[in-house]
Amino acid sequence: MALLSQRETSNLVLSVRQASGVMQPHEALVPLSASDYPQAYSSAVPADVATFGYIADLMVCFAFKEDERDEMALARGHDLLRLQLTPEQALAHAIVNFKRSYSSPVATQLPDTLVWQVHSNAPFALNSNVVFDAVFWSRQRAQHGDLLVALPKRGIVLFIPANQAEAVSQLTQFAQSHYPQLPHQRMSDYLLHCTGAGWNVECRLFPPPLPPSAPAAAQAPFGLALVSDPEPSNTASHATASANHEEIPEPADEWDLDLAGSGQKMVIHSILGNFVLNAMLKSPIPPLVIALFGIGLMAYSLLGILRIGSGLGMSKEAKIWRMVHTGIPLVNIVSLIQLSMRTTKELREAGYEVGLLGVK
């Protein structure tokens, strides 16, 4: 994370993530630590990070955002003390800042169902922040009464009126269809009950992950389980990597996926730039101009590869291998196309809308 020059209330933001081995039955801001982050990246999180359990296995992570650049830095406990903010006050300020940057969320009913889905113009992975928007949920309760809410995947927020028992199976089916295989894309394993008194846990939607030594055949099927089910000691069951170290990306947060998206745009521009460079080689343009263009294009390509590699959690060796390809004519274009296609696959699986020129 970048060190920001401004760490003030005006640029305080937040994101919601799945906590590791945490389950709060009722809504409350309970201090957590770096150890409560998923194990895959908890080592990179500062020990005094300003993170709080909220409800079930959801935690709120505070950060500071710089408007001029897409850079964020995790907020620390001493930041909230310096700003004289309680966790509740910090949450209120962060929600106001979030809604100032993006439009208010809206709910649309899925065709031929009793299930509603929440949308906003925020980056898709940040759509789950709506769970903190008390005004939005108050309006939905005024229309539907108490609600049952599922957040199976980052960016996916589904709900039904709690008094419509026939809708529970539909909600469960939709939640199961969105439940991701990659642990870092999951949001909550629980069905939440939204009432005028706040959030409560209704039941467990998805079974806890198997311990690494357990056989795959023992995996329980999708379905509802009691809240009293034993909690997992590790929220991520890691797949065994294949010989190709690029096939399974390391877990990343939503900002990493945005970084991968920006890197993909640079890679796509680099692909087009390579065709321009090939055309320049057959033209009367002075060799010095062509050489300068080629050097700049290579540097731009390398930066795009680094952004994608960091965003998708590629190993150091994989990033170096991709960078070496940029210096080999024709091979560089093929390598960049393959990298862009892989990035498209990962972003679409996370819910991003990707076009010919990258993330829209």
Tell me the pLDDT tens digit for each residue of 44-72: 566 678 889 999 999 998 988 866 555 67
Mean pLDDT score, 131-147: 94
pLDDT (tens digit per residue) in 196-229: 999 999 999 988 765 544 443 333 322 333 333 3
This prediction has a pTM of 0.60
Question: CA-to-CA distance for 291 and 288, rounded, in angstroms?
Answer: 5
Task: Quote the pLDDT of residue 37.
Answer: 65
Report which of 38, 72, 62 is spatially closest to residue 233, judged by C-alpha positions: 38
Band of pLDDT at residue 235, cut at 50, 70 and 90: very low
For residue 24, give the DSSP letter.
Answer: B
**Neighbour-count burial for 195-210, b at 16+ CB within 10 Å, e otherwise:** eeeebbbbbbbbebbb
Residue type, 142: A
Query: What would the DSSP string read from start to end of 12-39?
Result: EEEEEEEPSS--BSB---EE--GGGS-T
Tokens found for residue 206: 């998805």
- % of the chain exceeding 70 in pLDDT: 78
Report which of 219, 139, 157, 91 is spatially closest to residue 351, judged by C-alpha positions: 157
Question: CA-to-CA distance for 2 and 25, rounded, in angstroms?
Answer: 35
Mean pLDDT score, 113-141: 89
Report which of 71, 104, 86 is spatially closest to residue 29, judged by C-alpha positions: 86
Place of tokens 């939503």: 254
Task: Quote the pLDDT of residue 3.
Answer: 46
Residue 182 confidence (pLDDT) above 60: yes
Residue 259 confidence (pLDDT) above 60: yes
Task: Quote the pLDDT of residue 230.
Answer: 33
